[in-house]
């Protein structure tokens, strides 16, 4: 008898060891099966299933979408692409002139109605919220895009974060988002009820990899986006019975004024590409397989999310350390650039 046969024979004689090994084998099979099914689901969500038909959210039926942070980047793309699908648009952002230009573009190109609300989210001014409420009280809103947001100017240790920057991030990312949703969501609920549930409502809130993974040197921004994850998931549970879908949308870097990245790459899409993938896959999880009412829509971001979650884990020390080192390096490069610009001005 070989040594392997002897070993197996000894295991079969020891019932405790035998059943422990059997349990470990079954557990491993279950884990592998679950991981395989999750990966197949991810591939189907990203590459196979057809695009979501926005008629179920009231497109081409006289309904409206409210888009915050609508004057640039991702917000502007949401406004354009929702208008292309047949929704009239309420544009909410700080700069009146930019809003007017986008409103004219949408009206001429897509032949839908527009409204504009000049709204500085950093002030938390009651007049802003009143103006928004007045602009939508008599129109059938079925979609809200919570896109307004702010990050740090450059990565910075929390203990060195300026008070104004800290307050602006929390006010814009959290307070304004919650207050706006409290104003718009009841209008969506009423619009769905008046349609006799022929259409559904939709609330999308922009999350971030900075909220997915705790991110040193972006601690305040990271915390603000993690807050939106929990809040949005809770809201999804509250509003589902009213026919309103709620999703947190997670992104890695996208070319925009906030990211300060101009050139797209395999992992950094343009705002147009990112929004297209988001609207195509609304209601699916893509890379956010482990999270309720959450979508990581862009294909490379989805694969990154899935890989991190199913290897080191988003809350691991390893992931934290990698994030720390990356943002330290980004900060050093940003400081060197600031120094060069300052020297050039003196010359």
Q: Calculate the dihedral angle through the C-alpha atoms of 116, 121, 122, 124, rounding to the nearest 10 degrees.
A: 120
Rounded-to-integer distance, Cα 320 and Cα 312, Å = 10
Q: Is 208 annotated as belonging to a binding site?
A: yes
Rounded-to-integer distance, Cα 177 and Cα 147, Å = 8
Q: Are 312 and 323 in contact (CB under 8 A)?
A: no
221 is catalytic: yes
Q: How far is CA 113 from the centre of its chain?
A: 27
Catalytic residue chosen out of the listed positions 221, 292, 298, 315:
221
Scored b (16 or more CB within 10 A) or e, 17-40 reads: eeeeeeeeeeeeeeeeeeeeeeee
Crossing angle between the packed helical segments 219-239 and 163-170, to the nearest 10 degrees: 10
Helix residue ranges per DSSP H, the chain: 3-13, 15-43, 73-84, 96-110, 126-136, 163-170, 177-194, 209-212, 219-239, 271-280, 299-309, 317-346
Binding residues for substrate: 208
Active-site residues, by number, are 221
């Amino acid at each position: 008898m070989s040594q392997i046969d002897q070993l197996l024979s000894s295991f079969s004689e020891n019932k405790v060891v035998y059943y422990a090994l059997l349990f470990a084998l079954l557990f491993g099979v279950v884990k592998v099966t679950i991981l395989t099914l999750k990966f197949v689901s991810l591939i189907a969500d990203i590459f196979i299933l057809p695009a979501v038909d926005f008629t179920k959210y009231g497109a081409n039926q006289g309904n409206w979408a409210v888009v915050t942070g609508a004057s640039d980047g991702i917000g502007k793309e949401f406004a354009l692409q929702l208008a292309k699908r047949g929704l009239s648009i309420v544009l909410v952002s700080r700069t009146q002139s930019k809003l007017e230009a986008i409103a004219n573009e949408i009206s001429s190109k897509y032949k839908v109605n527009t409204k504009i609300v000049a709204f500085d989210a950093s002030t938390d001014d009651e007049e802003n919220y009143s103006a928004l409420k007045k602009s939508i009280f008599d129109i059938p809103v079925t979609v809200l895009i919570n896109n307004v947001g702010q990050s740090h100017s450059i990565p910075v240790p929390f203990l060195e974060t300026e008070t104004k920057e800290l307050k602006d991030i929390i006010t814009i990312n959290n307070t304004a988002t919650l207050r706006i949703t409290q104003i718009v969501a009841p209008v969506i609920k009423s619009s769905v009820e008046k349609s006799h549930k022929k259409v559904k409502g939709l609330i999308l809130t922009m999350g971030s990899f900075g909220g997915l993974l705790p991110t040193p040197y972006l601690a305040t921004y990271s915390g603000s986006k993690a807050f939106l994850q929990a809040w949005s998931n809770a809201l999804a549970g509250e509003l589902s019975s009213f026919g309103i879908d709620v999703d947190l949308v997670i992104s890695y870097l996208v070319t925009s004024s906030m990211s300060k990245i101009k050139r797209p790459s395999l992992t950094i899409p343009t705002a147009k590409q990112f929004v297209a993938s988001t609207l195509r896959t609304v209601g699916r999880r893509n890379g956010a397989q482990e999270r309720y009412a959450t979508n990581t829509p862009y294909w490379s971001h989805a694969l990154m999310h899935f890989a991190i979650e199913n290897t080191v884990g988003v809350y691991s020390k390893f992931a934290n350390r990698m994030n720390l080192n990356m943002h330290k390096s980004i900060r050093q490069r940003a400081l060197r650039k600031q120094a060069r610009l300052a020297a050039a001005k003196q010359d």
